[in-house]
Amino acid sequence: MAIFAKTAAVITLACSALSGTAFADTYHHIDQLAVTVERQARMLEREVSHYRHTPEYGHLIADTKRLSRLAEHMHEVAHNHGCLAHLEADLRQLDSAFHHLERTLEHIEEDSFHGHGHIHGSTLHVRRLMHSMEVNIHHLQDDVRSLNRVQHHDEHFNSGRPFGHVDSRFYHSWPGHRSRGITIGGGSSRFTIRF
């Protein structure tokens, strides 16, 4: 039984170290993406001048300022490794504000095409910026969900529940032989170490 305890302790320590490293690396990545999204939101604020001779210009200014404020706040929470639930809520608001702005821009472009207002210059770079920002926001949402799963796993592990367990099937693997083992994980990520 001493071998089992030592093996379990080594595996537990290794898994805890790996999940802590994964947690820190993912949070660093989230912070870097948040910086990018905040920068993109500020760039969008400057680009609204292309739409200054459209009826929705005031609405567009308000939308881009709101998007920038949300991006700045979300970056602050990410940078300070804030509460994941708070970060998820911020990202939902940011995603919603982004898609509202996207619909507003589509409406302005369509109205301008039909002679309601005038857009100055090409806005292809605005569309590219919007697309890149959307990809980054959705990437952030995926990463936060991933980080939440890691944190949930750590909380589950640290709550006193064992990471692995002795699989009694291996005590009776074949007649006359008593084999012991520890099974880690579950489903398709399950593996067993026999001793």
Question: What's the average model confidence in pLDDT over 146-170?
Answer: 51
Evaluate whether 51 touches 57 at the Cβ level (below 8 Å).
Answer: yes
Residue showing tokens 């537990």: 12
Instruction: Indicate whether 154 belongs to any domain.
Output: yes
Instruction: Indicate whether 168 belongs to any domain.
Output: no
Report the pLDDT value the prediction gives residue 179, as an integer from 0 to 100.
Answer: 46
Give 10-38 pLDDT, tens digit per residue.
433 333 443 455 566 777 888 899 999 99
Which ranges in 48-162 belong to alpha helices (H)? 57-79, 84-113, 124-158
Q: Is the pLDDT of residue 90 over 60?
A: yes
Helix (H, G, I), strand (E, B) or coil at 87: helix
CA neighbor of 151 nearest in space, from 85, 71, 62: 85
Instruction: Indicate whether 169 belongs to any domain.
Output: no
Instruction: Indicate whether 167 belongs to any domain.
Output: no
CATH of the domain at 110: 1.20.120
Instruction: Indicate whether 182 belongs to any domain.
Output: no
The Cα–Cα gap between 108 and 103 comes to 9
Instruction: Indicate whether 170 belongs to any domain.
Output: no
In sequence order, what are the beta bridge partners of 181?
194
8 or 188, which is more confident: 188
Instruction: Indicate whether 8 belongs to any domain.
Output: no
Evaluate whether 193 touches 184 at the Cβ level (below 8 Å).
Answer: yes
Report the pLDDT value the prediction gives residue 160, as an integer from 0 to 100.
Answer: 47
Write out the residue range of the structural domain in which residue 29 sits: 21-161
Give 91-150 pLDDT, tens digit per residue.
999 999 999 999 999 999 999 888 888 898 888 999 999 999 999 999 999 988 887 776
Give 24-73 pLDDT, tens digit per residue.
677 788 889 999 999 999 999 999 999 999 999 999 999 999 999 999 99
Report the pLDDT value the prediction gives residue 191, as an integer from 0 to 100.
Answer: 55
Report the pLDDT value the prediction gives residue 84, as an integer from 0 to 100.
Answer: 86
Tell me how many domains the chain contains: 1
Global pTM value:
0.65
**N-terminal to C-terminal alpha carbon distance within the chain:** 10
